[in-house]
Chain A
Amino acid sequence: MKWPRILRWSWRILVADMLKIAHINSGYGDVQVLRDVSLEVLRGEIVSVIGPNAAGKTTLMRSIVGLTRPRAAEGGGIFFEGRNLDGLAPEQIVRLGITIAPEGARIFPDMTVLENLYLGAHALKDQRRIKGLLDRVFRLHPWLADRGSQLAGTLSGGERQMLSIGRALMSDPKLLLLDEPSLGLHPVVAEHVFSAIQAINQDGVTALMVEQKVAFSLEISARAYVLENGSIAMSGPAAELIDDPHIKKAYLAL
């Protein structure tokens, strides 16, 4: 059955989840990492994924953007605003409105800060819109404005992370994926990054965040998932998880 376009669109925007992952497996070659993972992100939320090293958090992020091909059981898959992402290339997926600040920032080191930011907006055509997005990034991280011509490879770890998030915002995303945005950062800088994420969220960007600094991330999240050994072990509102004995013991060291 073919729906009239207007119905299809309004269904996507009003009813469907921003992101719905249903029963996917994923991995590299023969190595299976994710097993039957399901997860959803609603419009406007910040959702956290926490879990120990090698649990498959990065693999989950890579699967969403299509860098690692997930395999879904019958009826499963990854759906963005109701649209199945199966078979789409990463460059097509990001054009739908998903973007990622990957693990370890992965800015382009031999390019200037400004070039990195413009690359974030590579898929956009409208120069006025790009200018507006650039202003938004500069409002979030004012120091970036003065460093436009600095080579990104010479930035400090914290600066790289902020540039990476800024670059991601330049595509004007609906959904922002963050893979350990506080990795290797001093607590004070990490806090700054977290408050930036909160500000971005209040600006209307939905976020799915992988984090090891569990107390921080639960604090700003609406809900959270616990990924252990490639499967979802627990999930629920962040406020409940923060008091859970297992979480306290394994992740908050209390």
Chain B
Amino acid sequence: MSLTIQALINGILLGGVYALYSAGFCLIFGVMGVVNIAHGELVMLGAFAAYWLFLLGRIDPLISLPISFGLLFCFGYILQRLLINRVVGAPPIMSYILTFGIHLVIANVALLAWTADFRTFAVPWAGTSLTWGGLVIPKARLVTFVLAGFVVGLLYLLLSRTRAGRAIRSTAQDWEMARLMGINVRAVYALTFALGAGVTGVAGSMVSTFFVIHPQMGLQYTIVAFCVAVLGGMGYLPGALLGGLLLGVVESLCAALLSPGLSVAVTFFILFLVLLIRPRGLLGRGMLE
């Protein structure tokens, strides 16, 4: 019994990790319809930012989160302005090709710069856990979980309560009409991608405190983010939270109760069912059918 509860806790915490690094992917898809295949590279860059800041500057990853956010925000803004703006509104295949290219370039430049070594680094507090009646809660994951709720909540508030958020949502719904409201949609896209990249950088920094990092780590994160987005509804931000949690719990329960090897199979089976029965996500609020 306590094994099941522990697996459930692990799953929920893992779900927080998934949600945190999928939120940006959902935001970007929701606003401009671009499936960003280079998403995992943003996670990787955020992770390496935390790594180097810790190694060279002795800055605790929690403290360096704003720096990761800022770096990835700027990187995302430039990427969108220079490249991705060219494929917004084009057939999806164009954005797949472009972002796949970006994925290859970033991953390989990172490989040249940082070698293929697997790296970890030990932040004193991040290695410890809270224990309670035999249940273990690793602190780093708990922080990530809280951060996921915080980031999604903040993005949600930004989108629903601010003038910039209103501009972003109107652009997502009807970009031609948004232009006729006097909105510069290219600037909106750049801001959106920058925000998405920024929070993904934060996610990468958190991930680096409990997972191994290396330049080629990106693709697996992109795949998970894609799954989370499908479960939650492509482009529906709160859906990232739900999709992440669901994926985390299913994976963790499968691994504990059935067999670790089966968890991927079960995950994809659920994904398949969702696509079949609820193509707009579990809540039916996604933008893609």
Residues of A whose CB lies within 8 Å of any CB of B are 65, 67, 89-91, 94-95, 99-100, 102, 106, 108-111, 115, 118-120, 122-123, 171
Contact = CB atoms under 8 A, between A and B. Distances in A.
Contacts of A109: 173
A90 B186 CA distance: 12
Interface string B199-242: 00000000000000000000000000000000000000000000
Contacts of A94: 179-182
B58 interface: no
Interface stretch (B33-41, B163-171, B250-258): B163-171
Interface in B151-188: 163, 166-167, 169-170, 173-174, 176-185
Contact of B179 (A90, A110, A118): A90
B179 A91 contact: yes
A241 to B, nearest CB: 30
Contacts of B166: 111, 115, 118-119, 122
A176 B184 CA distance: 21
A111 B170 contact: yes
B81 to A, nearest CB: 16
Nearest to A98: B180
Given A119-B166, A122-B167, A106 B177 contact: yes
A201 B74 CA distance: 47
B181 A111 contact: no
Nearest to A152: B173
25 contacts: A65-B180, A67-B180, A89-B179, A90-B179, A91-B179, A91-B180, A91-B181, A91-B182, A91-B185, A94-B180, A94-B182, A100-B180, A102-B177, A108-B169, A110-B173, A111-B166, A118-B166, A119-B167, A119-B170, A119-B181, A120-B181, A122-B181, A122-B183, A171-B181, A171-B182
B180 A102 contact: yes
A110 B169 CA distance: 9
Contacts of B184: 89, 91
Smallest CB-CB A-B distances: 5 pairs: A123-B182, A90-B179, A122-B181, A119-B181, A108-B173
Contact of A111 (B173, B180, B182, B183): B173
Interface in B27-77: none
Interface in B189-204: none
Contact of B177 (A89, A108, A118, A123): A108
Contacts of A123: 181-182
Contacts of B179: 67, 89-91, 94
B159 to A, nearest CB: 11
A111 B169 CA distance: 8
Contacts of A106: 174, 176-177
B180 A90 contact: yes
A120 to B, nearest CB: 6
B110 to A, nearest CB: 37
Contacts of A67: 176, 179-180
B182 A108 contact: no
Contacts of B178: 119
A122 B169 CA distance: 13
